[in-house]
Amino acid sequence: MYDTIVLGNDPGSLIAAVVLASHGRKALLLTMDDVPDSFSESGYIFDIDPLPWTGMDRGGVFRQLLSHLSITSEDHVLNPALQIIFQNHRIDLFGNTDLDLKEMEREFPGEGRNLAKFYSSIEKIASFASGLIDKDLHLQPETTGDYINLFRNMPGIVMKKRAFGTSLENIRKKPLLKKILEAQLLLLSNLDPHNISPISFAKTLFLSLNGLSYPEGGKHYLMAKLKKKFEADGGVIERCSALTLDTERVIKVDVKTEGNDMPSLYGKNIIVSTKYGKFDSLLEENRGLSVFKKKYDRIKPSLYPFTIHLGVNDRCIPEKMGIYVVISDETKSAENGSPLFLETSEPGDILRAPDGKRAMSVTTFLKNPPSKFNNSDLEKIAESMLKNLGAFLPFLKENLDFIDLEQSINISRDYHRTINNKYIVKKPIIGMSSLSGKTPLKNVFLTGGILMPGLGFEGEIMSGTNAARLAMGEN
């Protein structure tokens, strides 16, 4: 019998399993959806999730966890951390408050006072938000103690929301400044930029002020190290094609393996990822989870990533172009023209692309899942993306070394649950945390970015560590 069975194939599930095994718990990681971390084609390697990972800075959540697990990561701090490019403006964000403020003041003369006040308040509100997280404040209270704790902190929350909200609205009155802020939120948070609490807004913007890193060789190398650590600590990874779940006193999982065996697996606890392909069915089939389902249904996905993958010659990329770039049309509203996000391998990273070439992922956000579109519609969207990209990179066409639109379409369709969608949360208090990892069943716990959508990838990591703590009996 296992101490804990973890069901899922995403970073939150893997982190939960690794933390359990590192504490000497007998853990099983069941991966059912067969979702790879990357795919390779024609000498290029592309991460399935091309969006930036936060928490890799020195004090970041992910960096601290890796250090605790004695896992090294070859990553480079980016300079600039992020570029946002319009027809008539280019903003380089360096991951440094003073430099970023100077850059914004250069692009928006006359807004110096408002910008200085705004940037000053970001750090203060982000620090306050971190304090709430450190207190383990349940922002969706479930017990009497949770309500008392929230009530005690509510005056400070209301005051901070009001103070930062005023400063934020002054900045958002400028359409271009508003688009710059929303571009950062779109990449670094799992919330819809148009439905976010001011406190969560500040916490997300502070992530970009801490800088972003590029993992050499791709994120899948880091995931492989985590899996190796899990197995070294006695963890077991099994792939199954189907299962039934019994959540009585002891967890019983009947699985169908690739060899068509039908063994029964037992555990004292189970951690289930909200990204597990049949998570919705699990909630509907289990009466004990009906209360949680009502809370879960309050969170609605609103934007879905769609990515095309390219291999390009180095010479078509401008010398000063960053690794992470947002291209946006300043003449269109966010509702009528989703920006393009470019993730490009570093020059010289021969683990991801042949020498002299670069792997490039181009992502936009759709209002419906890619699985709801037919091939013809997605091909038109991809062609429009390439046209807009060609306007930014005029020599792209003659330097295009690899493209397979059909493969890109299939990947976005098949794996869209793996990459965090953007969610709308009804009546967010501070917008960082929406659901607890606890469920009404004392031996069933949850992980996944949807639990803490306002914290982006950091929320994914925290949901995994929190689920492991709950399964080990820690509050």
Q: Which stretches of 135-286 are DSSP H helices?
A: 144-172, 175-188, 198-209, 219-232, 279-285
Scan for tokens 């002054």, then name that residue: 170
Asked whether the predicted pLDDT for residue 450 surpasses 80, the reply is: yes
By the 10 Å C-beta count (0-12 exposed, 13-18 middle, 19+ buried), 136 is classed as: exposed
Top-confidence range, 29-38, 205-214, 299-308 = 299-308
| Tokens found for residue 368 | 């419906």
**d(C-alpha 459, C-alpha 152), whole Å:** 24
Asked whether the predicted pLDDT for residue 471 surpasses 90, the reply is: yes
**d(C-alpha 266, C-alpha 246), whole Å:** 10
For the chain, percent of residues with pLDDT exceeding 90: 38
Top-confidence range, 126-130, 189-193, 406-410 = 406-410
Question: Could you tell me the pLDDT band of residue 415, with boundaries at 50, 70 and 90?
Answer: confident
Q: Identify the residue with better confidence: 36 or 339.
A: 339
Residue pair 112/101 in contact by the 8 Å Cβ criterion: no
* pLDDT for residue 32: 75
* pLDDT for residue 201: 86
For the chain, percent of residues with pLDDT exceeding 70: 91
* pLDDT for residue 396: 93
* pLDDT for residue 334: 47
DSSP reduced 3-state for 411: helix
Question: Could you tell me the pLDDT band of residue 130, with boundaries at 50, 70 and 90?
Answer: confident
Range scoring the smallest mean pLDDT among 23-32, 179-188, 351-360, 422-431:
422-431
| Chain segment 297-312, per-residue pLDDT in tens | 888 889 999 999 999 9
Q: Does the CA dihedral 7-9-12-17 come out positive or negative?
A: positive
| Overall average pLDDT of the 41-50 stretch | 92
Averaged pLDDT of the chain = 86
* pLDDT for residue 256: 72
**d(C-alpha 269, C-alpha 455), whole Å:** 26
By the 10 Å C-beta count (0-12 exposed, 13-18 middle, 19+ buried), 29 is classed as: buried
**d(C-alpha 454, C-alpha 320), whole Å:** 31
* Residue among 352, 416, 353 at smallest CA distance from 220: 352
Asked whether the predicted pLDDT for residue 263 surpasses 90, the reply is: no
Q: Is 376 left (phi over 0), alpha (psi -120 to 50) or beta?
A: alpha
Q: Other CB atoms closer than 10 Å to residue 347's CB: what's the count?
A: 14
- Partners of 362 in the beta sheet? 308, 342
**d(C-alpha 422, C-alpha 193), whole Å:** 8
| Chain segment 329-370, per-residue pLDDT in tens | 766 654 445 789 999 999 999 999 999 999 999 999 999 999
| Overall average pLDDT of the 362-390 stretch | 92
H or E, element range at 273: strand 264-273
Q: Does the CA dihedral 138-139-144-145 come out positive or negative?
A: positive
Q: What's at 39, amino acid-wise?
A: F
Q: Is the pTM of this model over 0.85?
A: yes
* pLDDT for residue 209: 81
- Partners of 365 in the beta sheet? 305
Question: Could you tell me the pLDDT band of residue 242, with boundaries at 50, 70 and 90?
Answer: low
Q: Identify the residue with better confidence: 433 or 372.
A: 372
Asked whether the predicted pLDDT for residue 138 surpasses 60, the reply is: no
**d(C-alpha 358, C-alpha 218), whole Å:** 12
Question: Could you tell me the pLDDT band of residue 429, with boundaries at 50, 70 and 90?
Answer: low
Question: Could you tell me the pLDDT band of residue 257, with boundaries at 50, 70 and 90?
Answer: low
Domains of the chain: 2-36+217-298+433-471 (3.50.50.60), 79-211 (no CATH), 299-415 (3.30.70)
Range scoring the smallest mean pLDDT among 104-118, 229-243, 426-440:
426-440
